[in-house]
Structure 1
Amino acid sequence: MAKKSFAEQASADTTEIGFHYQYYYFLYRLLNLKSGQSVGLEVKDDVHTDLDNETQILFQLKHTVQQNATGGSIALTELDGDLWKTLRNWAKIISDDTAGRDQQAKQHEFINKTEFHLISNKSESSRNEFLRKLEAYKATALSLEDLCTHINALYEKTQDKDIKGYIGEVLTLDKNILAAFLRKIYLELNLDDLHTLIKMAIKEKMIESSKVDAVFERLDSNIRTDNYIRIKEGQKIELDFDSFYKRYRTIFSSSREPLQLGRPFAPAFPEDVFAQVFIKQLVAVSAMKIDDVERAFEYTTNKLKIVRFLDDWLQSGELVADEIADFHKDVKTKWRNAFEHWCEDCLDRDVVDKAKQLLYDLRKIEFSIASNKLNTELSNGELYHLSDERLIGWHRDWKTL
């Protein structure tokens, strides 16, 4: 292997990718937040998650650009500096007297509410005897004494002063504290493609596959900018579920495909279109004539079309039931406000004129559903549909007609 130049050795590339690895894991954890939880970046650890049951997860992120003979990331060995530096860091956090954990009782309390996760793109190695023994210990298939014997052997074996120092500091923990700590250690290796994980988490939030990349780019850009501002203002980078939802939810909602309003539609008309309630209501206020067949079929088509489209959008997942319910509610509210203005207290001689004015005003409105504006045809169809269901009317006494 060619010797690297001084400039190459001094390059910040490897440090920079480590920062990106840490940030993108933070973003991944954000996307997996549940109500009552929060995620922090470089607050309690590289990344941390506070759960809603008063427990926390500390994440140490270790990224390597070193490759093995096959081009993959090198394996995590049992005398890996990243491994033992991470365990040393956690040992120091556990026994941090500045945080009031100089007594064993406080250290036990901290460990009981904490999980310690090492995340790395390094690969697993079948020759990592320490990790094998650690898992055996956690499964109660190996005693603490046997595990500590192996750790001491590693201490004696290594010639690296830094690694020897890391192992030594881990072993300075009280035996009972060390026993509890080792049971709470978890490793996730081979975690290299964080972008794919993030995009999968975005897709799982019901985002169309064709929109995932756009959501990722907008989310990435906005969170990076907000993080920069927080750091500049001396604030911690920590977000709870409610803050994340409030701040970034529009990125997800704006990615939804607009409803297709011009899809083909072939109505199945009732046997007697003039027998429909909404037609009778229109005739009652002279909004159409009893023998106007062309207009009766036109209005019926409008009514049938909105009913069919709403059902199609629901079945295809383009809308959900509460969005449709909110749509009906909004239209009824707009009707009620206009009805109270025009019809509620009108005189007997003005009943028809006021009803026609009410109908005229409402027919001009293009209603919206889930941020989609409907055209006039569908908006009018919704009015006829609600009228046909006896939920709204035009005549002052429409309920008793």
Structure 2
Amino acid sequence: MDREKTFMEEAAAPGTGAGFDYQFYYFLYRLLNMKKGQSIGLEIKDDVHSDLNNDVQLLFQVKHTIQKQAGGKPIALRELDPDLWKTLHNWVRIITDPNDNRSNPEDQLKFVKRSEFHLVSNKSVSKANEFAKRVQAYSEFSSADNFTSIADQVTNLAASSTDKTIKGYIKIVQALDESVSREFFKRLFFELEETEIIQKLKDSLEEKFVLPEDIDSIYGRLCTLIRDDNYISILEGKLTTISFDDFRSRYRRVISQGINKRLGRLNFEPALPDDLPSQPFIKQLIAIEDIRECDDEIITQLSTLKVRLARSLELWVQGGEVVSDEVTDLHKDVTLRWSNKHRKAFRRCLEVEINEKSQEIIDDLREVKFKLGDDELSTENSNGELYLLSDQNTIGWHRDWDKL
């Protein structure tokens, strides 16, 4: 025999906390899937609401249960479920609110026609819930017969219920003007069995191209930041909806962490050409007296930087860390920087100054860290890019480098 709960156990009410969390997670899910021109609010117009860019508002009542059926699924939404009728009662009170200038049916009708009403819950769908079936049928085909079917079922439920509170809720719904009621039930939707809300959140992040290995950390940080910001807004009495632009400007850096990852550092010893001094870029450096043909150690070091950068670019593209057109843009940018410096250096250069000017160009560019996509290359990789382009006879240091 099951023992009765103690007062302490009843007062703790673990389901209440889960309900608040579920509501927040649904709010966050709507934020992540918001479109340009829309805005989302938490506990402002409803549990959650969304304002669309066509003057339509979506109102969401979010209900959660920790009660389970025998098979482990959450209990079903019954026809006389308190969550159902309290929700409908709340919406009717909003529709007919005199303090919001909706005392007469005409104003109520205008409000309903620009609204949708969504009951969101982890509760299961009940095959025995005839009321929900009739509402769905009416939203799909808004005929007079389908509306009458709903009204008849509401009357039956009011007569069969023994719960005074639920009877009161139903009475409020029945009192709604018929013209308003017709539009209300047309715009009433049930989103049930929303049990995997956290997974849906993570799926949304992946659909925004966050890498799978970063989803948990991005999800955790985003939850914390938005929850903290919302709490601070409540304390300051500045609770407002979050627009698409607000969300993008305030939180995009969190999501972009999992998209614009730092390039992986590839430390490896690449296979070098057999005849290092015969490489075009080495010949150019020897020609301007930046290095000597006998500087074996330096030649090996510079050759390693060139070959490592060339191989890294291949691996980054293959691994999806950069896109091929970003590599093309890198080469174009470095070539243009070199071209500007080369023209400036040799605009009024005397014959005896050629090597000195050539060395100034390479020395200056060796100090620059180039960008690949959103990433800044290291000094080693940036130098490797110079040697790679020079080896491909795309750039050079001597005034007459292309004739050497």
For this structure pair, what is the TM-score category when the shorter chain's length is used for normalisation? Answer: 0.7 to 0.9
Structure 1, residues 68-103: CA drift from partner, whole Å, max 9, x if none?
233331110011111111112222222333333344
Alignment of 1:34-183 (within 5 A): 34-140=35-141, 143-183=146-186
Identity over aligned pairs, percent: 42
How far, CA to CA, are the matches of 1:344 and 1:55 in structure 2? Answer: 65
How far, CA to CA, are the matches of 2:357 and 2:134 in structure 1? Answer: 85
Partners of 1:259 and 1:372 within 8 A in 2: no
User: Secondary structure of 1:65's partner?
Assistant: coil
Partners of 1:274 and 1:290 within 8 A in 2: no
1:306 aligned partner: 309
Structure 1, residues 181-233: CA drift from partner, whole Å, max 9, x if none?
11211111121232222222222222232222211221122222211211111
Look up the equivalent residue of 2:254 and give its one-letter code. I
How far, CA to CA, are the matches of 2:90 and 2:380 in structure 1? Answer: 66
Look up the equivalent residue of 2:267 and give its one-letter code. G
Alignment of 1:320-399 (within 5 A): 320=323, 323-324=326-327, 327-328=330-331, 331=334, 335=338, 343=345, 345-348=347-350, 349-370=352-373, 372-387=375-390, 393-395=396-398
Gaps of 5+ in 2: none
How far, CA to CA, are the matches of 1:364 and 1:136 in structure 2? Answer: 71
1:337 CA displacement: 7.2
Give the alignment partner of residue 264 of structure 2, picking from 255, 259, 274. Answer: 259
With over 3 angstroms needed to count, the CA separation of the structure-2 counterparts of 1:107 and 1:270, relative to structure 1, is farther
Gaps of 5+ in 1: none
Give the TM-score normalised by the residue count of structure 1. Answer: 0.84
How far, CA to CA, are the matches of 2:213 and 2:47 in structure 1? Answer: 32
How far, CA to CA, are the matches of 2:98 and 2:277 in structure 1? Answer: 83
Count matched residues.
398
User: Secondary structure of 1:57's partner?
Assistant: strand
The 10-residue stretch of structure 1 (93-102 or 78-87) with the greater mean CA deviation from structure 2: 93-102
User: Secondary structure of 1:262's partner?
Assistant: coil
Structure 1, residues 321-344: CA drift from partner, whole Å, max 9, x if none?
56546645664576577668x626
Look up the equivalent residue of 2:205 and give its one-letter code. I
Structure 1, residues 236-287: CA drift from partner, whole Å, max 9, x if none?
14222222222222223334364242257557x79999685x6676566444
Partners of 1:78 and 1:128 within 8 A in 2: yes
Alignment of 1:208-227 (within 5 A): 208-227=211-230
Look up the equivalent residue of 1:46 and give its one-letter code. D
User: Secondary structure of 1:143's partner?
Assistant: helix
Give the TM-score normalised by the residue count of structure 2. Answer: 0.84
How far, CA to CA, are the matches of 2:201 and 2:153 in structure 1? Answer: 38
User: Secondary structure of 2:69's partner?
Assistant: coil
User: Secondary structure of 2:150's partner?
Assistant: helix
With over 3 angstroms needed to count, the CA separation of the structure-2 counterparts of 1:287 and 1:120, relative to structure 1, is same
With over 3 angstroms needed to count, the CA separation of the structure-2 counterparts of 1:84 and 1:303, relative to structure 1, is same
User: Secondary structure of 1:317's partner?
Assistant: coil
How far, CA to CA, are the matches of 1:339 and 1:221 in structure 2? Answer: 52
1:196 aligned partner: 199
User: Secondary structure of 1:259's partner?
Assistant: coil
With over 3 angstroms needed to count, the CA separation of the structure-2 counterparts of 1:35 and 1:258, relative to structure 1, is same
How far, CA to CA, are the matches of 1:10 and 1:72 in structure 2? Answer: 25
- 2:22 equivalent to 1:21: yes
How far, CA to CA, are the matches of 1:125 and 1:263 in structure 2? Answer: 61
Look up the equivalent residue of 1:146 and give its one-letter code. S
With over 3 angstroms needed to count, the CA separation of the structure-2 counterparts of 1:330 and 1:26, relative to structure 1, is farther
Look up the equivalent residue of 2:57 and give its one-letter code. Q
Structure 1, residues 298-324: CA drift from partner, whole Å, max 9, x if none?
756644543443243223221235654
Partners of 2:25 and 2:197 within 8 A in 1: yes
